Amino acid sequence: MQAALAQGPAAHGWTEDQRWPLARITHLIHALFGVDYISRGVSYLLHRMGWSPQIPAHRAIERDEEVIAQWKAHTRPRIKPPPGGRWPGCVSRTSPGST
């Protein structure tokens, strides 16, 4: 089973992306071994084999890391609340919402 997973999804006919969702692995197990599992059962099997769930980071195509770094360095310190979480002159007795 590990060898089949290591070949990647494209080797088994899934060419649109290179992820292994549980539904695909369930289908692969049925195709290779003729055994039906539910997704939770496949999750247990993968865990026992040492595999862990990975969630890909979805980033916008337009994302500009340089602009984000500049914003964090220059703009964020001006608008971030001071240590202690209260702005000078705050009269609220309740603690401000967390950021």
Note the pLDDT tens digit of each residue in 32-62: 999 999 999 999 999 999 988 877 677 788 8
Cα 88 to Cα 13, 81, 98, distances in angstroms? 61, 10, 17
Q: Has residue 81 got a pLDDT over 90?
A: no
Rounded CA separation 45/98 (Å): 39
Q: Please, are residues 20 and 5 in contact by the beta-carbon 8 Å criterion?
A: yes
> Residue ranges of the domains in the chain?
20-54
pTM score: 0.55
For residues 6-19, average pLDDT: 89
- Residue 42's pLDDT is 93
Q: Please, are residues 12 and 28 in contact by the beta-carbon 8 Å criterion?
A: yes
